[in-house]
């Protein structure tokens, strides 16, 4: 991530660490916790078990977001300032790096479905960096009342091949595969950057248009995955927003600000090598460890070289000193020779002069002059020879000295370089040691302050505990005394209650005995009455049965009489016609009408029974005056009654 303030400070990359919470599967399988985040101190501690040895390593980042950090926290603390920079006309990039399943897509995209948005377009709490940045950009642009234009691109990089996720829809598989074959080329833009030729740039005017494009691009990416059987964790996606804002300076000049925000969701880091990158967070660690080892080896080697070069330098210096001593000695010898030769020549000349002076003084001067000339020539020649020899020697010595100086200076350079590197290394090591010492001192201080806090907390907790204990004791005593008095009251009331219950029981028992006696007497009386009633009933039944017997006998007598009379009547009134010779007289038999017969037939038995009961009740066995029958009687009754 980059920002202007950081640029001013000379830092243009920030590394933030986000650690997601355990998934349900991880919780279910009791996965061990190997990473501990300290958001406040921006530190992450990683615990590892290597070859049965527990190793804790602490890493420091620009910001640390632990498992409880929400999407909004991360956005507000880390991304809002970057989007401000983009709106100020800077180019910024945010990318998510991590292993598959660590939460890159969740952090970058989150849940940005429009269906989940609030009524006023506010985003759901799970919305990630991309939808939040889009919203921030449009909210700011719309509130600024400035002329602006926004363009977006969305591409996917897989196996060093670029796919345009905003290109018009290709529905069929054949068309998609065709498209896959036409990968977009990556080119230099001539300004030190790169561009993807043929990449669709969509001009957008609102956040919701961008959300639509994002959904389209993501859907296309998923379709491509299905057809090509590849996974999101193996591909990078790059969503870019370019903003042009037209502004007028106070002097009235037109100013166009152009900022670009690149939002990158990288492939799972374990797959990144497929697309050219490498596993950085382990790579760095390995490199660091390797470099530490190399540095130690280098330091050891430099120390050895330094010693060797010191030895060599000493040897060379000794050799040089010996060599120079020899040259000086030779020079001295030559000078001695020259001096001796001069002395010999001078002596010869003196001798010759003396001898010649003895021969001829006039010729002598000439001879002396010749000889002087010869001698001086000779001397000159001798001197030239000596000078040449000396020059040769000097030249050789100078050459040797230059070579030796070269050796010495290269040795000096080597030893100075080694010394410098050694000093740098020592300084670095010293600084590191100092940093570590400072760090551990800080840690120590922090531990001390924490311990002090613990001690004071424990002290105050102890006091609090003592106070609580006192008040608990006091409350306990109070409760005990209240309980004793309550128990006493309760036992008094129980005793009183027992006495009341005892007297009530005695009264009740007396009442029960008296009532039982009354009831028994009553039962006796009732049974006497019942016995009387039963004997009355039996008498009544007997009287009835006698009546019935009489009635039956009367009835059969009357029935026989009726039969006789009926026979007689029929014989008189329905005799066969016999020819007598006289005119037969008309007879009018008393025959029941059809209606009478029908009414008689239809008479219900219940009615007959009711009528019978009415006239023969159990209550009274006295003969009642019979009520006139409501039942219509046939004319035969009249006959019967005659
Ligand atoms: N901070 C978080 N809070 C709650 N759930 C999270 C968080 N981060 C990730 N998850 C959940 O963890 C799972 C994996 O996350 P995600 O798909 O974003 O991983 P990834 O790193 O993008 O994986 P890949 O490299 O395969 O695309 C998802 O179900 C996601 O909802």
Residue 7 clears pLDDT 80, i.e. is over it: no
Structure token digits, residue 168: 């018009």
- For ligand 1, atom 10: residue with the closest CA: 103
- Tell me the C-alpha to C-alpha distance, in Å, between residue 96 and each of 116, 237, 269: 24, 10, 10
Please name every residue paired with 152 in a beta bridge, in sequence order, or none if there are none.
202, 241
The most confident of 7-21, 58-72, 165-179, 418-432, by mean pLDDT: 58-72
pLDDT of amino acid 133: 93
Tokens 């660690």, located at residue:
285
Establish whether 382 is an annotated binding residue. Answer: no
pLDDT of residue 620: 47
pLDDT value at position 5?
A: 45
**Residue 258: pLDDT above 80?**
yes
Decide: 106 in ligand 1 pocket, CB within 6 A. yes
Which atom of ligand 1 is found nearest the CA of 18? 1
**pLDDT above 80: residue 618:** no
Q: How far apart are CA 86 and CA 1, in angstroms?
A: 12
Residue 266 CA, closest ligand 1 atom number:
25
Distance of CA 436 to CAs 424, 429, 430, 440, 443, Å? 17, 10, 10, 6, 10
Question: Is 99 labeled as ligand-binding?
Answer: yes
What confidence category does residue 153 fall into, taking pLDDT thresholds of 50, 70 and 90?
very high
Instruction: Work out the pLDDT band at 611, boundaries 50, 70, 90.
Output: confident
Nearest CA to 216 out of 262, 253, 164, 179 is that of: 164
DSSP string for residues in 153-205: EEEEEETTEEEETTSPP--SHHHHHHHHHSPPPEEE-SSS-EEETT---EEE-
pLDDT, tens digit, 9 for 90 and up, residues 397-431? 677 667 767 766 766 776 677 677 777 776 776 77
- Residue 600: predicted pLDDT: 60
Ligand 1 within 6 A of CB of 132: no
Q: Residues 238-248: what's their mean pLDDT?
A: 91
The 8 Å CB, 24+ separation contacts for 303-311 are 303/422, 305/414, 305/418, 306/415, 306/418, 306/419, 306/422, 309/411, 309/414, 309/415, 309/418, 310/415
Over residues 298-327, mean pLDDT: 76
Q: State yes or no: pLDDT of 264 exceeds 70.
A: yes
Percent share of the chain, pLDDT over 90: 15
32-41, 323-332, 360-369: least confident range: 360-369
* pTM of the predicted structure, to 2 decimals: 0.46
- Which residues of 216-274 form beta strands (DSSP E)? 236-248, 254-265
Looking at residue 642, what DSSP letter applies? Answer: -
Residue 98 annotated in ligand binding? yes
pLDDT tens digits, 518-542: 888 988 888 888 888 888 888 888 8
Boundaries of every domain in the chain = 71-279, 299-464, 511-543
* pLDDT for the residue 435: 72
550 carries a ligand binding annotation: no
Q: Whose CA is closest to 213, among 96, 130, 136, 143?
A: 130
Q: Secondary structure of 375-415 in the HEC alphabet?
A: HHHHHHHHHHHHHHHHHHHHHHHHHHHHHHHHHHHHHHHHH
Tens digit of each residue's pLDDT (9 = 90 or more) over 555-597? 888 888 888 887 887 677 666 556 677 666 665 656 667 776 6
Torsion, Cα of 435, 441, 447, 449 (10° steps): -120
Q: Is the CB of 221 under 6 A from ligand 1?
A: no
| CA 129 – CA 105 distance, rounded (Å) | 10
What number of other Cβ atoms are within 10 A of residue 136's Cβ?
Answer: 19
* Residue whose tokens read 């998510």: 96
Kindly list the distances between the CA atom of residue 397 and the CA atoms of 131, 382, 393, 544, 582, in Å, as whole numbers in the listed order: 81, 22, 6, 184, 216
As a whole number of Å, the end-to-end CA separation of the chain is 138
Q: What is the pLDDT of residue 320?
A: 75
Alpha-carbon distance of 243 to 260, in angstroms, equals 6
Domain 71-279 has CATH 3.40.630.10: no
d(CA 105, CA 98): 10
Positive or negative, the Cα torsion across 362, 367, 373, 378? negative
Asked if residue 168 has pLDDT above 80, the reply is no
Residue 207 · residue 216 · CB < 8 Å? no
Confidence of residue 623 (pLDDT cuts 50, 70, 90): very low
264 lines ligand 1 (CB under 6 A): no
Ligand 1 pocket residue status of 73, Cβ below 6 Å: no
Chain segment 96-127, per-residue pLDDT in tens: 988 888 898 899 988 655 445 555 667 888 99
Kindly state if the Cβ of 104 falls inside 6 Å of ligand 1.
yes
Q: pLDDT class for 181, splitting at 50, 70, 90?
A: very low
Find where tokens 């001197």 sit.
383
Contact 302, 425 (CB under 8 A): yes
Does the CB atom of residue 153 touch ligand 1 within 6 A? no
163 phi/psi in degrees, rounded to 5 = -120, 135
CA gap 4, 1 in Å, rounded: 11
* Helix H or strand E segment including 46: strand 43-50
Nearest ligand 1 atom, CA 102: 21
Assess contact for 131 and 119: CB atoms under 8 A.
no
Q: Is 104 labelled a binding residue?
A: yes
* CA dist., res. 414 & res. 307, Å (int): 11
Most confident of the following: 9-13, 121-125, 629-633 = 121-125
Question: So what's the ipTM on this one?
Answer: 0.97
Chain mean position to CA 636? 111
Known binder of ligand: residue 105? Answer: yes
Give the whole-angstrom CA distance, residue 25 versus residue 36. Answer: 19
Over its C-alpha atoms, the chain yields an Rg (Å, rounded) of 69
Identify the H or E element spanning 91: strand 91-96
C-alpha pair distances (Å), 29 with each of 26, 302, 499:
5, 52, 69
State if residue 21 touches ligand 1 by the CB under 6 angstroms criterion: yes
Average pLDDT score over the chain: 75
């Amino acid at each position: 991530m980059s920002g202007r303030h950081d640029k001013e400070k000379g830092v243009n990359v920030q590394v933030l660490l986000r650690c997601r919470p355990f998934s349900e599967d991880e919780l279910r399988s009791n996965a061990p916790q190997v990473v501990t985040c300290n958001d406040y101190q921006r530190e992450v501690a990683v615990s590892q078990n290597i070859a049965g040895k527990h190793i804790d390593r602490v890493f420091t980042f620009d910001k640390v977001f632990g498992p409880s950090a929400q999407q909004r926290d991360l956005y507000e603390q880390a991304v809002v300032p970057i989007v401000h920079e983009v709106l100020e006309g800077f180019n910024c990039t945010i990318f998510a790096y991590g292993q598959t399943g660590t939460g890159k897509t969740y952090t970058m995209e989150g849940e940005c479905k429009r269906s989940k948005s609030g009524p006023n377009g506010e985003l759901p709490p799970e919305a990630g960096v991309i939808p939040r940045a889009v919203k921030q950009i449009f909210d700011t642009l719309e509130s600024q009342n400035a002329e602006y234009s926004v363009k977006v691109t969305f591409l996917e990089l897989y196996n060093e091949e670029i796919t345009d996720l905003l290109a018009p829809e290709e529905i069929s598989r054949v068309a998609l595969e065709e498209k896959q074959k036409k990968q977009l080329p990556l080119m230099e833009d001539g300004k030190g950057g790169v561009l993807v030729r043929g990449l669709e740039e969509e001009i957008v005017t609102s956040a919701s248009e961008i959300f639509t494009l994002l959904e389209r691009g993501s859907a296309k990416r998923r379709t491509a995955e299905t057809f090509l059987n590849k996974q999101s964790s193996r591909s990078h996606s790059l969503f870019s927003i370019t903003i042009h804002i037209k502004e007028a300076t106070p002097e009235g000049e037109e100013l166009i600000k152009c900022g670009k925000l690149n939002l990158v969701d990288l492939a799972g880091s374990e797959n990144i090598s497929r697309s050219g990158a490498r596993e950085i967070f382990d790579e760095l660690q390995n490199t660091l460890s390797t470099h530490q080892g190399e540095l130690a080896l280098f330091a050891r080697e430099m120390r050895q070289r330094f010693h060797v070069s010191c030895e060599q330098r000493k040897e060379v210096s000794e050799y040089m000193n010996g060599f120079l001593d020899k040259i000086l000695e030779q020079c001295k010898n030559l000078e001695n020779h020259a001096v001796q030769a001069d002395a010999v020549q001078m002596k010869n000349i003196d001798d010759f002069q003396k001898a010649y002076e003895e021969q001829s003084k006039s010729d002598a001067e000439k001879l002396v002059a010749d000889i002087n000339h010869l001698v001086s020539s000779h001397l000159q020649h001798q001197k030239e020879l000596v000078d040449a020899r000396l020059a040769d020697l000097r030249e050789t010595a100078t050459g040797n000295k230059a070579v030796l100086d070269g050796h010495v200076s290269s040795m000096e350079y080597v030893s100075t370089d080694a010394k410098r590197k050694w000093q740098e290394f020592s300084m670095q090591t010293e600084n590191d040691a100092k940093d570590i010492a400072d760090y551990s001192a800080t840690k120590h201080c922090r531990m001390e302050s924490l311990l002090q806090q613990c001690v004071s907390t424990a002290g105050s907790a102890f006091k609090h505990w003592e106070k609580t204990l006192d008040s608990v004791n006091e409350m306990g005593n109070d409760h005990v005394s209240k309980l004793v008095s309550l128990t006493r009251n309760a036992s008094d009331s129980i005793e009183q209650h027992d006495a009341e219950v005892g007297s009530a029981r005695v009264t009740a028992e007396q009442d029960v005995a008296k009532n039982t006696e009354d009831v028994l007497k009553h039962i006796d009386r009732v049974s006497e009455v019942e016995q009387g009633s039963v004997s009355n009933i039996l008498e009544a039944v007997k009287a009835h049965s006698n009546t019935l017997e009489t009635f039956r006998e009367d009835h059969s007598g009357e029935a026989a009489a009726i039969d006789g009379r009926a026979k007689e009547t029929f014989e008189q009134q329905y005799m066969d016609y016999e020819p007598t010779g006289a005119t037969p007289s008309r007879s009018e038999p008393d025959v029941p009408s059809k209606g009478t017969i029908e009414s008689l037939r239809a008479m219900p038995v219940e009615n007959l029974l009711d009528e019978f009961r009415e006239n023969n009740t159990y209550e009274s066995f006295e003969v009642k005056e019979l009520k006139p029958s409501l039942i219509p009687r046939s004319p035969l009754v009249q006959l019967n009654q005659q």
